[in-house]
Structure 1
Amino acid sequence: MNEVLYLSIVKKIKENILKGHYKPGDMLDSESALMKEFQASRMTIRKSLSLLSNEGYVYSVPGKGNFVCTPETDLFQFRFNKYDDLLVPIDEVKLLFVKVKEASAQLADKFSLTTSDKIIEVSRLLSSAGEPVALEFIYFKYIPNQPVVEDRLKFANHLERLERSLAFAIQKTLEVRALKADQSVSRRLGCPEGDVVFCLEEMVVNSESDSVISYTLFYVQPKNIEMRATTPKEENNAKRIF
């Protein structure tokens, strides 16, 4: 019975961490409080905490308590930030529009919606010294009865808050494609229609619920970006990959 109980305690605490009820750095309830909550002995609670520690979810500080870990990047997982790899300093980010519209078939598929469901589309233009550098489209699920205002869409801060609250559950995917700029992209980037541009397609997923948090299309001319990817041990010796 104790073995089943301690595993159920581990499962419940993991769920609370993955759902953001406990965030990295938060202190768990005291052993006494956990004993009362789960109606378990101190030995069972300590066994549960030990397993959580071994799996990298919590760590213990003697005399203080147990705290939620900050997830470590896997050794072979590439770190990439599209903004950091731009070759020119961005001095202006202009919000072009925020729209609530019906989801296209492509977006409906990515967000597990129907084409009659609503989606938020955000567009912004990144510039350097008055010259356009990159065009970005960001998509979120539309939540009815919540106002769509710029204050709710401070993009970097918005995602940063989500990543902190769902630190163990966030998964990112990135696909880079070279394609010919269509009329709308060429007009915004100031390049001839048909010129080759890079399209960086990024998805942020809550792997716990398997739901897409955001989907981004980032268009940039090749002259304005140098793609870099590093593993944690190689951060100071990043290699140019193209």
Structure 2
Amino acid sequence: MSDVLYLAIVASLKDKILKSQLKPGDMLNSETALMQEYSASRMTIRKSLSLLSNEGYIYSVPGKGNFVCKPEVDIFQFKFNKYDGLNIHIDNVKLISVKVLLPAKQIDRILKLEDNQKAVEVKRILYSDDREIAMEIIYLPYVHHQPVIEDMLKFANYMKPVEEKLAFVLDKSLDITVVMPSDEVRETLNLGQNEPVFEITELIRNEATQQMLQYAWFYVSPRYLSIKAATPKDSEDKRIF
């Protein structure tokens, strides 16, 4: 019965917070007052408050009491895949080059390569109706005796099977900026002299093994990619932890 009661207390206090009956910074009633309000034991009240604290709704100040957290309104949530996010269909991928080499120090450090370990450098172009839409430069750790499968790299989202297999341990980070492209990118994509591009830097890591799987730059004109985000629908995603 106490387990059901403590969850009911949690739901009641959450409801008051979400309806602004308890506002950010407000102090909750004392444990004694909550015991009387909900006809519950001190242990049950403390269990409820602990869960609310763990979920980020309240925080405790020793010697003072429990207070409502201030929600973070500047958190935005968006689902992003640089291939599926294009507003144009990719119907062909052309490999410019696939090389096994000793990478620059920056790449070596990011991929956490062992001493003298090589990397695979892939450069490719994504097309739509024979138009160059995007250019991608990819670095993968090179594993001796493990062949580079060029046929796989001809698919736009070639990492998808890997991502699906490792979904629960995959860690991805993105850095999206607007830059003036290098001469190589400008010429490859037939861009105007002063035409900017999105530069999307992506690092993919196996969180379970700490192995770096890929580091890549993706260049595309803003004409073909738009990025949208919204505050989370679930109020729980707005909390500060």
TM-score by length of 1: 0.58
Between the two proteins, what is the percent identity of the paired residues? 38
Shift of 1:115: 7.2
User: What amino acid is aligned across from residue 82 of structure 2 in structure 1?
Assistant: K
Matching residue of 2:112: 112
- List per-residue Cα deviations over 1:166-195 (Å, max 9, x = no partner): 222101111101111111000101013453
Shift of 1:153: 3.9
Secondary structure in 2 matching 1:181:
coil
Relative to structure 1, the CA distance from residue 194 to residue 115 in structure 2 (aligned partners, 3 Å threshold; closer, same or farther) is farther
Matching residue of 1:39: none
Shift of 1:142: 0.3
Secondary structure in 1 matching 2:162:
helix
Secondary structure in 2 matching 1:108:
helix
Shift of 1:206: 0.9
- List per-residue Cα deviations over 1:66-86 (Å, max 9, x = no partner): xxxxxxxxxx85321112222
- List per-residue Cα deviations over 1:127-182 (Å, max 9, x = no partner): 22222111011211000112223135465675233223322210111110111111
1:221 aligns with 2:217: no
Relative to structure 1, the CA distance from residue 121 to residue 229 in structure 2 (aligned partners, 3 Å threshold; closer, same or farther) is farther
* RMSD, aligned α-carbons: 2.6
Matching residue of 2:136: 136
Secondary structure in 2 matching 1:144:
coil
Shift of 1:91: 2.2
Relative to structure 1, the CA distance from residue 231 to residue 210 in structure 2 (aligned partners, 3 Å threshold; closer, same or farther) is farther
Matching residue of 1:169: 169
**Contact (CA 8 Å) 1:80, 1:229: kept in 2 or not?**
no
Q: How many residue pairs are counted as aligned between the two chains?
A: 160
User: What amino acid is aligned across from residue 190 of structure 1 in structure 2?
Assistant: N
User: What amino acid is aligned across from residue 137 of structure 1 in structure 2?
Assistant: I
Matching residue of 2:49: none
Relative to structure 1, the CA distance from residue 232 to residue 169 in structure 2 (aligned partners, 3 Å threshold; closer, same or farther) is farther
Matching residue of 2:151: 151
Matching residue of 1:181: 181
TM-score by length of 2: 0.59
Alpha-carbon distance between aligned partners in 2 of 1:155 and 1:171, rounded to the nearest angstrom: 22
Alpha-carbon distance between aligned partners in 2 of 1:201 and 1:139, rounded to the nearest angstrom: 11
Alpha-carbon distance between aligned partners in 2 of 1:96 and 1:119, rounded to the nearest angstrom: 17
Matching residue of 2:210: 210
User: What amino acid is aligned across from residue 222 of structure 1 in structure 2?
Assistant: P
User: What amino acid is aligned across from residue 225 of structure 2 in structure 1?
Assistant: I
- List per-residue Cα deviations over 1:78-126 (Å, max 9, x = no partner): 3211122222222222122211111111110111125732101111111
Alpha-carbon distance between aligned partners in 2 of 1:77 and 1:226, rounded to the nearest angstrom: 15
